[in-house]
Amino acid sequence: MTNATETQTQTSTQLPAVATGVAQPLTDSSPSTSLNNDRSSREMSKAEQKADPSSSSPTAPKPQREMTKAERRELQEKQRAEKAALKGQPVTISIPSNQQPSATASAAGPSTENNASGSAAKTKQQKEMTKAERRELQERQRAAKAAAKTQPGPSGAAQSQTAAPRNVPPSPSPAVQQHPRSGAGGTHRKLEAARPDGLGGADARGLRIFSHFGTPKPPPTTKGDIHPAIVRLGLQFAEFKITGANARCIATLMAFKTVIQDYVTPPNNTLSRHLMTHLSPQISHLVAARPMSVTMGNAIRQLKLEISGSDIDLPEQDAKNALCQKIDNYVRERIIFADQVIQETAGSKIKDGDVILTYARSSVVEKVLLRAWEDGKQFSVIVADSRPMLEGKKLLRVLSKVGIPCTYLLLPAIGSVITEASMVIVGAHAIHANGAVFSRAGTALVAMMAKQHSVPVMVCCETYKFAESVQLDSFIKNELAPAGDIFDAFPRSRGQEKLQTTGGPNLALLNPLYDLTPASRITAVVTEVGVIPPSSISSIPLALGRTTI
Amino acid sequence: MSNHQSVPETSASNDSSFDIDATYQAILANEDISTPLAAILALTELIQQSSAGTMFELVKALNDGAKVLRERTPNPIGLNAGCELFIAFVTLFPHDSDSFSNLKTELVKQGRAYAREAQEYREKIANLALGFIKDGSVILTHSYSRVVMRALLRAHERKRISVYVTEARPRGLGLRTYEELTKAGIPCTVVLDSAVSYVMDQVDFVLVGSEAVVESGGLINAVGSNQIAIIAKAANIPFYALAESYKFHRLFPLSQYDLPTHTPKILSFPSAVTPDAKGPGQNSADQDAEKITIPKHTRTMTTEQIACNPNVDYTRPDLISLVFSDVGSLTPDGVSQYLVGMFAG
């Protein structure tokens, strides 16, 4: 667009030839061709530079080129007129200029230059014509699509993006950069007009970022035979009645125990093979209610391993009991006992007089703090919290009930209290192989702030939360909270209608639930195998003799 | 780096006639043995004298002995490293032998063999570090460390090196390094602790010993090492630590004040502000009688003032380039992975 305006000003002001002192041969005085003078003189100089090293007589090729140049100029004028007539828009005049030098640049010598420019002119003419026609077609198609479509937003963006590639193949690249831009602008304007006004931006398809997560959907209607325990669990997940990595994992495993006990192997099938297929739709139902947490994923993977390894010869009830026993063992060892070890280890790091800053609510951190208080350590706690979930209130209630002196504040205020804190203890949803911690949105801010003020950051995390993938940022994998007032409203002193919980026609709400804290911001990770630096997470499975977590 | 404080030799151990602390101190009298090794040898002696009948009793006796030793020293870090290593070794030792006394004999034998082998670790580390020392290197070191001495003397056999050593107040052990290096013919200059940043740009790399290398990959060494590491990092000079593998310790300090050696007295303010009558302290008995003139009109800290200061400090892993050890040259991350592999199983 900018190029077009520049060339416009050039033509209007009729600047003299800009080329380097080769303007004499060009004596055309028609105002519309002054621009041509510029270009032609530039080409002339370029051609001259090329001609000199080529050691052919500089005088001989010039008349030929001049002649063809005059012809070319005529052609270009014709084309421009046609274009202007077709489009009625400021024509992107620089296109031929870009094309010509490239065409001439590719030529080897003066004679081939002529041929190249001549043929380029001819093909250009054709392309111009067809390009104009094609553009017309595209505009019409886009308008038709916009009218047919009722969805706003990214579909328009998608359209403009797809419009760009459509433009790219037929024409050379420097030219085309302007078309999609103008095309996109035009398309957007058209779409804005076409969109019905009644549509709100409340659904996440209006989001520009995080749109790859899709919308948080309402709990799905049950299809097929989903066990009622799973149905109930799905509802609890979807309405955020059960939150937290540990809680969700334990609830899932308990529900699966019920499913397994109620399961009957169909005839001509074995439990170890069929139970898996029986469980799959149950798992999908849970995933549809709310995306699976890393803990659930690890637990289910372990469960599937146990199922496939179960003895074929066992009678069915025994096999089912064995599986339930294994599930109980898993919960007990990897979660309950692990938490106890973490309580002791992290508790030993807490000294009298410490001021501990924690964020939101982690079940492990709650246990650590309660245990340290029971052991008689005198410390105080700062609970930082944030909307929409306001989980810190639950933690605050539990801690103050046993008498721990607590301070409660919202996340934006931690800058004022970070200098008072002697230690930061947070929980985790998962920890990745590169040591990055995936936790409640806001944890990364707390960790970075702490690091800035040299406050040590301790993450309490069981080993079963280890995700073997590497994650580098919070965008690639995250979860959006659904719009609406499903969490406790804050503050109660104001009316709930004052709270912004849903979007509007020009407002889309974005509530990512998790974020990623890089390993460099974390001082130590407390696991049940000890206190380790985050970079050593990946050596734990090896050390424990396991192939997976 | 081991403390030679004389401890009253009272019998305060579980076994009737075996005084672990006396044994420990006697072993430590040997200059070549560092605290973790001395602890391992003392515990080996404990097993020898022990009348325990089961593995459980034996481990309990070992833990009690370690506790006694810990209470008697103000700087238990190296001691803890050695004790933990040995107790873990004993616990994981396959006890499939029929008689328990055979097992005990075996353990004692293994303990002594390990200590013998560990005497060679310093040589191994010196050879490893040799590859990193170029001809004509200027090296900065801190205080006195036996393994660094061995490495420097080894390098001096083949290459030309010159050494700056810090004074390392208040004990002034850097002067001991100076004496030994000069005797060996290595050009050496003592540098004030406060002049480290002044000299840093002249230095090719920094080489220090260690009391312990901790789980985070950080270093615990005589006070002043952290400062040198920070200055080296700011000047882009490599900082190498030499540590035998028995000094790797499963401690994880979150900060300087999370060390077991940090007492409330350190860095405390005096309770009542009384005018200090002492004024400039005399050149106290801490400094040996040197033939060289001691400058007049200088002041030194009093013993009470020194008592408010730490003996060791903690250097963070991101300031350390490499740790040279008998198991190889490790990055600070690698130290943690080694420790996790050793102890987590």
The verdict on A271 touching B (C-beta cutoff 8 Å) is no
Contact B258 A456 (CB under 8 A): yes
Question: Which residue is closest to B316 within chain A, CA to CA?
Answer: A523
Q: What is the DSSP letter of A482?
A: P
The SS3 call for residue B180 is helix
Residue pair B40/B246 in contact (Cβ under 8 Å)? The answer is yes
- From chain A, pick out residues whose CB is under 8 angstroms from the CB of B344: 529-530, 540, 543-544
According to CATH, the topology of domain B121-259+309-342 is Rossmann fold (3.40.50)
The verdict on A18 touching B (C-beta cutoff 8 Å) is no
Question: Which residue is closest to B214 within chain A, CA to CA?
Answer: A532
- From chain B, pick out residues whose CB is under 8 angstroms from the CB of A453: none
Mean pLDDT of chain A: 74
Contact B215 A533 (CB under 8 A): yes
Q: Which of A207, A197, A229, A204 is nearest to A218 (CA)?
A: A204
Contact B255 A531 (CB under 8 A): no
Q: How do residues B20-61 score in pLDDT, each as one tens digit?
A: 888 888 888 888 888 899 999 999 988 888 888 888 888 898
Select from B92, B336, B339, B342 the residue whose CB has the most chain A CBs within 10 Å, as the one to mutate to test that interface.
B336
The domain segmentation of chain A, as residue ranges, is: 228-336, 349-483+510-544
Q: Which tokens in the block code for residue A279?
A: 């469980």
Torsion of CA B310, B251, A404, A360, to 10 degrees: 120
Question: Which residue is closest to A345 within chain B, CA to CA?
Answer: B252
Q: E strands of A445-521, at which residues? A: 457-460, 466-467, 514-517
According to CATH, the topology of domain B20-118 is Four Helix Bundle (Hemerythrin (Met), subunit A) (1.20.120)
The verdict on B91 touching A (C-beta cutoff 8 Å) is no
According to CATH, the topology of domain A349-483+510-544 is Rossmann fold (3.40.50)
Q: How do residues A79-107 score in pLDDT, each as one tens digit?
A: 888 877 776 555 444 444 444 444 444 44
> How many angstroms separate the first and last alpha carbons of chain A?
56
- From chain A, pick out residues whose CB is under 8 angstroms from the CB of B314: none
Q: b/e for B152-161, b at 16 or more Cβ within 10 A?
A: bebbbeeeeb
Structure ipTM: 0.77
CA atoms of A394 and A365, how far apart (whole Å) = 13
Check: pTM over 0.80? Answer yes or no: no
Residue pair B31/B78 in contact (Cβ under 8 Å)? The answer is no
Q: What single letter denotes the amino acid at residue B182?
A: T
Low-confidence ranges of chain A (pLDDT < 50): 1-37, 41, 43-45, 47-61, 91-118, 153-204
Yes or no: domain A228-336 corresponds to CATH 2.60.40:
no
The domain segmentation of chain B, as residue ranges, is: 20-118, 121-259+309-342
- From chain A, pick out residues whose CB is under 8 angstroms from the CB of B255: 454, 456
Backbone angles phi, psi at A221, to 5 degrees: -70, 145
The verdict on A434 touching B (C-beta cutoff 8 Å) is no
The verdict on A421 touching B (C-beta cutoff 8 Å) is no
The verdict on A148 touching B (C-beta cutoff 8 Å) is no
Contact B254 A536 (CB under 8 A): no
Q: What is the pLDDT of residue A223?
A: 67
Q: How do residues B186-202 score in pLDDT, each as one tens digit?
A: 999 999 999 999 999 99
CA atoms of B330 and B74, how far apart (whole Å) = 29
Q: How do residues A260-269 score in pLDDT, each as one tens digit?
A: 999 888 888 8
Question: Which residue is closest to A425 within chain B, CA to CA?
Answer: B254
CA separation (Å) from B324 to B117, B132, B218, B328? 17, 10, 13, 6
Q: What single letter denotes the amino acid at residue B103?
A: L
CA atoms of A392 and B245, how far apart (whole Å) = 44
CA atoms of A324 and A263, how far apart (whole Å) = 12
Contact B341 A523 (CB under 8 A): no
Q: What is the pLDDT of residue B142?
A: 95
Mark out the alpha helices in chain B (DSSP H runs): 20-28, 35-49, 55-72, 77-92, 100-118, 121-130, 146-158, 174-184, 196-200, 225-234, 303-307, 332-343
Q: What is the pLDDT of residue B228?
A: 97
Mean pLDDT of chain B: 85
> Which residues, 6+ apart, have CB-to-CB distance to B291 below 8 Å?
none
Q: B20-118 with B121-259+309-342: one CATH topology?
A: no
Residue pair B107/B88 in contact (Cβ under 8 Å)? The answer is no
Q: pLDDT per position in chain B (345 positions), as tens? A: 444 444 444 434 444 567 888 888 888 888 888 889 999 999 998 888 888 888 888 889 899 989 988 888 878 888 899 998 888 888 888 777 677 888 888 888 988 999 889 888 999 999 999 999 999 999 999 999 999 999 999 999 999 999 999 999 888 999 999 999 999 999 999 999 999 999 999 999 999 999 999 989 999 999 999 999 999 999 999 999 999 999 998 889 998 988 888 888 888 888 766 555 444 444 444 444 445 676 777 888 889 889 899 999 999 999 999 999 999 999 998 888 888 777 765
- From chain B, pick out residues whose CB is under 8 angstroms from the CB of A531: 215, 252
